[in-house]
């Protein structure tokens, strides 16, 4: 088992290296940092632009291979280079990752728990009223892009605030700008800001999880061991919880780790719309700013989170499903 995991891990490291290098080369050949400097007002003289680009290792007159070697040798020592404004990419990356983690942790836990509960119960009551309502609701949510959900909820919040006459719901930013207060007040302020974006993500995730869990549960409910569990005298509730649900949860947990990994840098729209400066928003801004190093760093981060999720799901799978451990 240990050897198997070690080999997996090595394979993942190679994959991450290739994926990040690919993203860097693509970004370095397709983005134009020179244009970013040339469009400044007033336009700086070409020599200044060149020295700027040289100091950032972004000069397109330097051969690509040379820039790549400089960049990759920095990455190997944990330095992702400078962003286009001269800031340190590595330090910023951990800052942005923190913002996104604060946004998505509660949302994924809430959304998946809700989805699993509703999906599992819908499977038990297949084709009854609850199942039909749950299926209808989740398909309705699934067919709306998260962008639209985010904007609709924001518009609703504005309407509610207007109707009440005071800011009942906050819909911009992670915390109030210039907010001063003790630890408790700061926490409260942050939670107040987090409610709506968390709701948006949880809603979008709930639908996917409900569908997935319902299907997994239906597969399990028809199987022999559940019938055996009932036949040997267990109550229906016990058979469903201890035998059916537990087995049906195994694939969902894999799905959960992947969703979480993907969301760390994939909550772009929610972050942009609600003014949270997280990973996804950073990526979009950096592409607009022709910022090669940030794009490469976000790609590295995405690859690492996906691989971590995959590795974690391997371990969880082995832990939950004894058949894998042979």
Residue closer to other proteins, measured from CB, 240 or 283? 283
Closest separation in Å from C-beta 270 to other proteins: 6
Residue closer to other proteins, measured from CB, 27 or 134? 27
Closest separation in Å from C-beta 22 to other proteins: 6
Residue closer to other proteins, measured from CB, 143 or 182? 143
42 vs 51, 73, 225, 233, CA distance in Å?
17, 35, 75, 83
Closest separation in Å from C-beta 239 to other proteins: 21
d(CA 48, CA 42): 12
Closest separation in Å from C-beta 55 to other proteins: 23
163 vs 159, 168, 199, CA distance in Å?
6, 10, 21
d(CA 113, CA 129): 21
Residue closer to other proteins, measured from CB, 234 or 262? 262
Residue closer to other proteins, measured from CB, 186 or 258? 258
Based on the number of CB atoms within 10 Å of its own CB, is 309 exposed (0-12), middle (13-18) or buried (19 or more)?
A: buried
Closest separation in Å from C-beta 132 to other proteins: 14
d(CA 87, CA 94): 13
- Provide the binding-site residues for other proteins, judged by CB under 8 A: 11, 15-16, 18-19, 22-23, 26-27, 30-31, 146, 201, 204, 208, 211-212, 215, 218-219, 255, 258-259, 262-263, 265-270, 280, 283-284, 287, 295, 298-299, 302-303, 306-307
- Residue 278 φ then ψ, to 5°: -100, -165
**Under 8 Å between Cβ of 269 and 144:** no
């Amino acid at each position: 088992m240990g050897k198997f995991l070690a080999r997996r891990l090595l394979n993942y490291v190679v994959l991450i290296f290739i994926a990040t290098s690919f993203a860097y080369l693509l970004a370095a050949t397709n983005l134009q940092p020179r244009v970013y400097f040339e469009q400044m007002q007033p336009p700086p003289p070409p020599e200044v632009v060149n020295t700027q680009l040289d100091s950032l290792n972004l000069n397109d007159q330097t051969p690509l291979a040379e820039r790549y070697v400089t960049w990759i040798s920095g990455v190997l020592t944990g330095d992702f280079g400078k962003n286009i404004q001269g800031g340190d990419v590595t330090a910023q990356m951990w800052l942005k990752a923190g913002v996104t983690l604060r946004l998505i942790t509660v949302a994924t836990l809430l959304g998946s728990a809700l989805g699993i509960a509703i999906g599992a119960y819908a499977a038990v009551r297949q084709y009854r009223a609850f199942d039909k309502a749950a299926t209808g609701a989740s398909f309705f949510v699934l067919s709306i892009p998260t962008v639209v959900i985010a904007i609709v909820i924001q518009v609703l919040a504005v309407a509610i605030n207007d109707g009440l006459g005071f800011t009942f719901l906050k819909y911009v930013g992670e915390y109030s700008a210039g907010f001063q207060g003790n630890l408790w007040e700061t926490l409260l302020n942050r939670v107040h800001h987090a409610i709506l974006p968390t709701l948006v993500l949880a809603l979008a995730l709930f639908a996917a999880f409900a569908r997935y869990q319902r299907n997994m549960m239906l597969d399990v409910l028809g199987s022999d061991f559940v019938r055996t569990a009932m036949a040997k005298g267990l109550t229906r509730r016990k058979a469903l919880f201890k035998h059916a649900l537990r087995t049906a949860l195994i694939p969902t947990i894999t799905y959960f780790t992947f969703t979480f990994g993907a969301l760390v840098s994939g909550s772009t729209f929610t972050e942009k719309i609600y003014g949270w400066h997280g990973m996804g928003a950073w990526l979009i801004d950096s592409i607009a700013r022709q910022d090669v190093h940030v794009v490469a760093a976000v790609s590295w981060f995405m690859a690492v989170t996906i691989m971590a999720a995959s590795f974690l799901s391997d371990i969880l799978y082995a832990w939950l499903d004894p058949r894998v451990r042979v």
